[in-house]
Every structure is written in C-alpha cells, then in structure tokens.
Structure 1
C-alpha cells in the first residue's frame, strides 16, 4: 500500500499519533517524536504536526517547513487556520460541545452527553491519513508536495449529516437516547443479565419480532404501522422490555438473529476480549486485554482495515496475465482511455479514477462522496425506485438534505441487479472502473454472481472494498447490523454514559462514520501502492474500527468534564468534582448555576481557572461565525437550485478536495446493453430503467 513512505509524527494531539499508526498499518515507516524536541526533517516524505498545540519554537519551525514545499506537511488542529478560535488549545470534549455534536447525544429528558471516545481526534486522524495518502499519490505521479490542514471542528461538523437537515430549516433537534427518530421498536432493553439493543427498520422485521414475542397487546392499533409505533413508542417499549427481561442477552440476540432482526449486547470495554467476533478477529488484542488492564498501546493490536489480493496470493500470481486485461479485453484502447479520462474535478488528487458505489445511507456513500471530492468519477448504483434516503424529510424539490449532503458530485444510475441485462451493464461498468465500494450485507453480491473470483475475472486490477458490521470472517455471518448495534458491541456505549451512569449511543452515527472513514483511507492507500493489474480486496468491519477507537480511549483516558444546566442551556466544564461547582455557587450567594446564563457561568468558572464552553445547540450552530465561514458551503443541482453543503474537513493546498454539485433526480431510461459497449468511453452513464 504505502511501502517506502517515511513518516515523522511530531505533535501532541492524539490525532497525530493515531494517523501515524494508521499509515503504519498501511506499510509506511513511522517515527513518533517527542513534540517538545528539536527535529531534523531530512529523510522523511511526510511530517504530521499539530501547530495549535505546539510551542512557539515548534510553531515557527512548522511554518518554515510548510513554506519550503519540500515535504507533505499535515497539520491537525482543533479549528481551521482562519478561524477566530485558532489560537486556543481546544480539547476534543470542547470541540464536541461547541459544534453541536454533544447536544445530539443523550436522553430526551436528560442532559447532553460527551461521546466517550475522543471522537473528533479519531475522526481527524482517519481523514488526515486519507489526505496524506492522496497527497502521496500526487507526489509520486506529479512530483510535487503540498500542505494539508485538518480541523477537528470540521470533522465534528461533517459527522452531523443526520441532524443538519433540521438545523437548515431552523427546526429543533431533539436527543433520542438509544431510540431512532423514525423507527420503532429501536432501543436498549434490559435482560436477565444485562442490556440488549434491538433495532427494527421494516414492517417485515416488526411482524417477525411480534410473532416471536407472542404478546397479544402488540396487536394494538397503536402499533399497527411504523408511524404509529414511533408516535406511541413510550407505550411500546415497556412491552418489548417485559419480554427481553425474562431472557438472557445471548438468548435475545440468538432469537433476533434467527428472524433477521438486528440486535446485540452492550459489551463492557473491560470484557471486549470475551465478545466472540472480536476474539475471532483480534486474538492478540483479546489476549492482551485478558492478561491485564487495557494499556496505552493496546489499540495498536487491532487492525481497523484488512487488505488481500482480490483472490488468494497463489491463485492471483499463477493466473495473473502478463499484461493488464479487463472483461472488455477486445478494447485495446482501454489504457489510453484511462489516461485521458477526466473526472468532475480535473485538479483533484484522484483525477482519472473511476469508482462504482453500491450502498445506501452513510458508510459507502461517505466513501464515494470523499472520493468524488478528491477528483474521482463516482457512479452511484441505486435500486430502480432510488435510495430510500432520497425521500427523507426535510429537503427541497423532492430530494432530502440528508441524501444531498452524503452524495455530492456523483453520477447516479438505477439498476435492478436481479435482471440479467442490468447485471451485465454493471459488469461492463466494473470492467472499466478502478474501485468498487459497497456496504451490502456480506454475501449479497456473491449471490448475484459477483464474488471475488468473478470480480477478478471481470477486472483483474479492481480494488474491491466491502464494508459490513462484523466483517467477512465473522462469528455472526448472518447477523444484520446497524450503527447502534455496533456502538453497543464495540464498547462505545459502555464508555458513553449519562450523569446517572446509563449507557447511551453517540447521537451521530459514530460507527457508520468511522467505518466509512477507515474504508476511505484503505482505498486511497491501495490506489497509491497498486501496481497495474494487481487487484485488491479491502475488508472493513465497523466493529473493528469502533473497537480500535474504544481501546485507544480506554488506554489513553482524557480529562473528564461536567455538564452543568443553566437558564438558557448547558455548559461543559473541565471541573472534575462537585466541590469546584460549589465554589461557583459561593461566588453568587443565593444563586445556583440553573439561574445563571451560560455566558455568566462560563465567566465565573474561568475566573476560578476552570475551562468551560457552552454546549451549542444545533440551531445555534447555524449562527456560528466559524461554521458559516469555514464549514458551510453551497452547491447546485442540475436545475440550478442552490443547496447547503459541508466542505471537506481536510484541505490540500495544491489539489483541493471540493464539493460542488447535488445529485439529480432519477429519470427512467431504457437500458440498451449490447456487445458494442466494449470500450471504456462507450458505456453510457445515464439514469437507467428497463421497461
């Protein structure tokens, strides 16, 4: 992947160490230096720094290095260099608070909760690694280095795509705890020996669960439809918990897996080594956890992505042709066509790369969105009726803001892959593509005849990335998984608890997002190291990535903060005990924090040397100067209408990643597949239906 790349990690932020670790997993040679030491940059290709947390001398050295243009310099800071907040040494917890990320986590009737892992640092590390790989590709191909800026503030904002649509319309965003705002039943329920997450998303899943529970009360008209169940969820959940509380967690999970309903236990981080899928996939890390406490570097024993030849090594080498070939081998002009092909962003780091995306909602679409912003041509394959998320509310002109945010700069086609002609059309596209990324259930493509062996025959040079909840090699080969279940089964919910100690999921789809980010990095790294004709398989288990993040958090605990209610919202304070808060009360006799405004309480805390920031609500984020100037962007659809978009959280100085357009509506077009579509540039890329 990145063999031969030499990395110097020279910064105090967690994201610096984590990004270096990721690059090391991809084959780079990494040296982690003391951030306070003097460094020589000779012999390195990349230097990763955190200038906002550096000494003045180190900051001056970083500035000089950036100006030299001799190395790839990746600077990971809390906010963008143009931000009014740039001078502050903001922590992950403070960034979660001031971006609205914290406001989305917690129970409806409770206080906002900080995510129990340094989410913005981890997210910044993953995006930084992907941006470094992209810059390395440019360096190898075109011979010039460039600077990269990565912002924790922007990473947090990028994770808010579920909530930004309502914020765009100035609607209030409510915390939902472990529920789902549009599905029910979907919650954490008590069992005989713990907790279980049960998540239903279709009427068929509800019908099967209702039959399994066998409780006549569930036939009530209040639960007859999805909308009714969501509206009456407070009445529904007690019936589900009355059933689950009579079973063990394992019994609940086994029954749900049998009927195709996503479910999983809330796994304590200290017992992660006993979780069957984690133990199967990461025996070294499991043994290390079993042998003692989770250490500072235990996380490094977990690989957040896996890569293999498109087939096994022996078959790959024995069958590899002397010259690259595709399914459309009769097209002798393929290589020339690849070199001449221009993506939507000609200046991008991935110009000339074609990507096929088959997925929905968050993970695969996130990957495709970033590959497109980096310059690749991304073709999104949707079902005939289009992805369900197209129709979610709110939106405009019949398209949801959520879908628009997650699918910028892509070409959309609609195919019914159960129809032979549509499947052949997809195969022809794959023969002319560089990357396939999908987040279907494991084995779904294989059932259509597109297993790894077939994909290798179609295109020996293809990079195929599969994203799933538990991976291809799994203790749960048939278990469906949602983000909520993965948060539960990776330790993330155990680490994220409210003031009463109750486990709660991150409001943002943390497992989905982190899984997509890991896939993005692995794909770009494969594009850097790929030799012509050497197809690769990238396997992403969302549980792997989330567990990697949780083990880092457990082994490298951050300072705790307190959430304090005020008259106009909440404040997040780095006050570690109630005694310090009582000191604040004594400064205003007869008054309590609840009677103060956030600004007043923050001023009083800071006068006592206690750092504090407001917990910004999502609707307030729309008025934040940094968000408006450095994060929010605007794009257009094919009809010329304007759409709010979010800029990339990483900025490459010479090959910038850009968001520009919103996907068009799907229009019915006849698939006319014939043998004449053999060459790269003759395959029609249009919205497709077959009558």
Structure 2
C-alpha cells in the first residue's frame, strides 16, 4: 500500500504518534527523529514546534495536527483531548440524563484526528505520485470531534436540545445496558419482531401490558420497561443471556472490562498473539500496536496481470478525481466512507433499497429527507435497486465492471448470498478494491450475531473506560461506527495511493477498531479532571478539583466559571455550537440539493492546500432503475426467493 514511503513523525500530540502507527501499518517506514540527509516524503507534526521552514520548503508533504484551526479565536493553545471534547459538544452528549457530562474514556479527538490525518496523507501521496504535486495538510481536533456529532446536530438544526440518553436509544426500546447475575449486558431491539421474541423469552407477565404494545409507547414508558427487563436479566449469567439473544436474532453483548478483553472469544480468535501478551504481561503503552484495525487479502485466487485504468486528470482536481466508488450500506459506517471519498473527488454511486434508505425518513429534516441522511451522504449519486431481483443484480454487475472501489456494511455473507462473492467480484472486475465493514469481522467467533454500535462499544472495551459515577456508559456519538468508518476510509485511500493494480479485499471489524482504541487508552496514564455544575450547565476542569472550586462553580454561569478558574473550559451543548462563531466559520458549511434548497452540512476536518476536499451537494431521491419486463414464456417464471 504505502511501501517505499518515508515518514518523519515528531510532535507532542497522541494524534501524531497514532497517525505514524497507521502509516507504518500500511507499509510506510516511519522515523521519530530526523536523520541527516534523510529524504522524507511526509512529515507529520503538531505545531507545538517550529514547522514554518518545512511547510515553506515544498520538498515534503507536511501534515500539521492542531487543536483548533489557525483562524479560530482559541488557536495557539495546546488544548487537551478532554478540553476539545468539552468545547466541541462531544462531552455533553455522553452520560446519563440525570447526571453530569462525562469525559469519553479514550482520547476520541486525538484518535479521530490521527485517522483523518492518515487518510489525508494517503490522498496527498496519491496526488504526488500521479501528478508530482507536493502540498501541506492541516487537521484540527476540533473539526474531527465536531464531525462525530451527526446524530445530535439534526436536533440543533431544528432548534431543539438533544438530551443525554446514557446507554439508551432515543427512538428504540428496549435498548439499554442491563445488570445480569454476574455483570452487564447490552440489549438492543430495533423491530417489533425482535421485541416480540424478547418478550416471549423473558416471560415477565407485565411486559404484555398495553404500555409496551407499540414502539412509541415503549419509548414513553421506558423507565418502567427497563426495570421489568432487568428483573429478567438479573436471573441469568451474562453469557447465557447473550447466547439466548443471539439465538432469537436480537443484538446483545456483554460489557467487557478492558482487563478481561484478552479473554473475549472474538478478540482472542482474531488477535491470539495480543491476547496471550496481555494475559502474560498486562496492558502496556505499546500493546495496542499488536492489534490491526484492518486486514487486506487478494480479492480472488486469480492472479491475472491487470492493466491499470488511465483517466485524464486535471492537476488541480481533488485527490480522488477519476475514481469510481460503489457504496452499499446504511446509517453511519459505509455512508461515512462514501461521503469522504466523494469529498476527496471520487464519483460515488450509492445503492439504496426500494423506497430508499431507512435513515432518509428520520426526523427532523426538510423536504422529506432527514438532516442525518444529508450529513452522511453528501455528493453522492443515489440509485434504487432491489438486489433480490436478477435484473437489478445485473445492473449492479454492470456498475462494478468499471468501478475502482466497492464498500459495504451489510451483515457478513449477505452480499455473497446475493451472488457477489469475492471470487465473483474478482471475475467481474479483477482490479476492484472491495471493503467490507462489519461488527465482528468476516472470520468471527460470532458468525450469526447481529451488532449495533452500542454492542461493539460494550464488547470492545470502550464502555468500560467511559464511566459515570462508576457505571459504564457508551460514547454519546456513535463512536464504534464512526471510528470503524474512519479506519475503512484510511485503508481504502492507502490502497488507492499504491501503484498495485490487482484486486484487493479489505476487512474491517469494528470490534478490532474499538479494541485498538481502548488498548491505546489503557496503556497511557489516565487523565484527571471533572465536569462541575454551574448555573446554566457545566465546565470541565483539568487535574485535581477542589471543594472550593466546586462551591464556586455552582454560583456562576459556565462562561464566567471558565474565565475565572484556571484550566476550566465551558462544556458546550450541541445546540449552543450554532451560535459559536468559530464553529460556524471552521466546521459548519452549506450545500444545495437538486431543487436548490440549502442544507447545513459539515466541512471535512482536513485541509489539503493544493487539491482540497470539498462538500458541495445533498442528494435527492434515489434514481429508480426500471427493470425490463420479462420475456414471453410458455410457463410462468417463479419469483426469486427472498434472501
């Protein structure tokens, strides 16, 4: 992928260290101290050091990772990850509704910045190798943190305040962490059929009450519902409850302690060496390096020589101009990948099911499309296909013939059941880069277990590290989905930067990515700090907090407390960001749809100086591909069997 690339990584931020690890995993040679006469193609820094000479030289791709942008009123201060969580709104989205905001237990902004920086660097390397252009890159932790707010910003756009929900889902129930006889389990239902099966297995008579007859009713009475569910889960061991839920098709999983991660069956199966090392020596500063966030394989057994496609590209075009991507996915992970590939200049064709992706109809929105869908699907061409029909599968095969990338987040094996195995894809297009994103990976201890973001956070160690008054709580943003999508983005762009032309299969397990992040956090000294209540919200204070500071904060508005107490920053609500001039200037943007309507969207949090990525348009309704009528036949032709 990035073999032959020489990288110098020097800077105090964790994001620099993690970015270097990612580039090294993709094949680059990384040094942490400059060698005399060394010809570095890429330099990764955080501008707590003098980098003006490197940036001005034009000899290197220089990636500068900072807390805020140069035009931000808070620039020049080395804000910590926790302070960025507070300033960006991320902290206020994490925690229980009746408690204080919670610092995410991993350095989320640093990790996200490392992943986006690695993708931007791979994009710049591709440009240099294709066009000879060398450019600088700027990445901000603030922009990366704000980019994770796609589930909370829609309420703010509709002038509403989104409350913290703990481990619940604002629109689905039951969906929560429940105590078991020996620990905790996450149970997540999203359909009436799942609820019916769960109710039958629980055998709690009160669950048949009319208060829980519909989804809307269950959400209204969620406190009573959760209490009744827990009367059942506390009678079971966690493993028994998990197996039962898997058998009936309900997403569920234990909250795995970071110290017990080495014994988690899927982690141990996929990362046996790391599991043995943790078991023998515990978690150290470099343990995370033994876990890979992506795996690559040959797409098929065929090893035919493949001629690269040659497309004329303007020197000033975006990095992925000329690349064609097919996206099959919903909600967050694959759509996030497609969104950034499109921003980087690729032609992205999104395949939606009949009647469109479910997330299109979520509220709030405008013109029949949700803000959530718009935020995650900018700059894509959308097509409606029913892949249960052969004519529509044939249309997909035609699209794949000249595609460069296929990315999907279907359940493992779903695409193969439709006739699109890796071997088949290799026959259709021998040079295709195919990326599959799933909860537990293709080779998994749980081949039939469904997974949601919350379950992966629980089983990847993230929830164990994020706690409110001792209770485990999920990252408010869809942390496992977002970080999994970022890992896929980097792997795809790194492969596109390679001169290799053979077909490649990229496997992303969101649990692998979550475990990588959790192990990195567990190997560092845990930062100290506390969110203190003020008259109108909270402030975050770094380090030890005194009783006098607690007493003082409760008498002050948070802006006054942040201004008068050393190390304090205001914990911003997401709706407050829309009145923050730095957020409006550096993070928020506007795009148009096909009807000319304006939409609030997010800028990408990385800036390439000469071939910039950009967010331009919101897609309209998916184009309907009309199937040809069946040919006349002497006998009726049976319909395709549903998958």
Aligned position for 2:475: 506
Matches within 5 A, 1:238-637: 238-311=227-300, 315-317=301-303, 320=304, 322-324=305-307, 335=309, 339-340=311-312, 347-498=317-468, 500-532=469-501, 534-576=502-544, 580-584=545-549, 592-606=552-566, 611-637=567-593
CA distance in 2, matches of 1:555, 1:323: 44
* Structure 1 residues 640 and 603: CA distance shift in structure 2, 3 A: closer
In structure 2, the residue corresponding to 1:529 is in which secondary structure?
A: coil
Compute the displacement of 1:592 (Å): 4.3
CA distance in 1, matches of 2:363, 2:313: 37
Aligned position for 1:8: 8
CA distance in 2, matches of 1:668, 1:353: 23
In structure 2, the residue corresponding to 1:339 is in which secondary structure?
A: coil
CA distance in 1, matches of 2:316, 2:356: 28
Counterpart of 2:78 (choices 81, 89, 94) is: 89
Compute the displacement of 1:559 (Å): 2.1
Matches within 5 A, 1:643-682: 643-672=599-628
CA distance in 2, matches of 1:667, 1:71: 43
Q: CA contact under 8 A between 2:385 and 2:625: conserved in structure 1? A: no
Mark the runs of 5 or more structure 2 residues left unpaired by the alignment. Answer: 631-643
Q: CA contact under 8 A between 2:352 and 2:622: conserved in structure 1? A: no
Aligned position for 2:166: 177
CA distance in 1, matches of 2:174, 2:625: 38
- Map Cα deviations across residues 550-588 of structure 1 (whole Å, 9 max, x no partner): 100010134211111011110100132xxx422437xxx
Q: CA contact under 8 A between 2:109 and 2:145: conserved in structure 1? A: yes
In structure 2, the residue corresponding to 1:412 is in which secondary structure?
A: strand
* Structure 1 residues 323 and 10: CA distance shift in structure 2, 3 A: closer
Mark the runs of 5 or more structure 1 residues left unpaired by the alignment. Answer: 326-334, 586-590, 675-691
In structure 1, the residue corresponding to 2:302 is in which secondary structure?
A: helix
- Map Cα deviations across residues 14-48 of structure 1 (whole Å, 9 max, x no partner): 00010000010110001123xxxx77573111000
CA distance in 2, matches of 1:323, 1:541: 28
Structure 1 stretches (4+) deviating beyond 3 angstroms? 38-42, 322-325, 671-674
Q: CA contact under 8 A between 1:185 and 1:199: conserved in structure 2? A: yes
In structure 2, the residue corresponding to 1:654 is in which secondary structure?
A: coil
Aligned position for 2:19: 19
In structure 2, the residue corresponding to 1:177 is in which secondary structure?
A: coil
In structure 2, the residue corresponding to 1:316 is in which secondary structure?
A: coil
- Map Cα deviations across residues 530-565 of structure 1 (whole Å, 9 max, x no partner): 423x00000000000010001000101342111110
Aligned position for 1:129: 118
In structure 1, the residue corresponding to 2:219 is in which secondary structure?
A: helix
In structure 2, the residue corresponding to 1:521 is in which secondary structure?
A: helix
> Structure 1 residues 119-128 or 616-625, which shifts more?
616-625
* Structure 1 residues 558 and 216: CA distance shift in structure 2, 3 A: closer
CA distance in 1, matches of 2:627, 2:116: 38
Aligned position for 1:685: none
CA distance in 2, matches of 1:501, 1:524: 40
- Map Cα deviations across residues 412-453 of structure 1 (whole Å, 9 max, x no partner): 000000000000100110111000000000000010111111
Q: CA contact under 8 A between 1:177 and 1:505: conserved in structure 2? A: yes
In structure 1, the residue corresponding to 2:546 is in which secondary structure?
A: helix
Q: CA contact under 8 A between 2:386 and 2:392: conserved in structure 1? A: yes
CA distance in 1, matches of 2:536, 2:298: 56
Compute the displacement of 1:629 (Å): 0.5
Q: Give the structure-1-normalised TM-score.
A: 0.89
- Map Cα deviations across residues 199-244 of structure 1 (whole Å, 9 max, x no partner): 0011111111111112222121111111111111111111111111
Figure out how many residues of one structure are paired with residues of the other and give that number: 630
Matches within 5 A, 1:123-272: 123-272=112-261
CA distance in 2, matches of 1:477, 1:439: 15
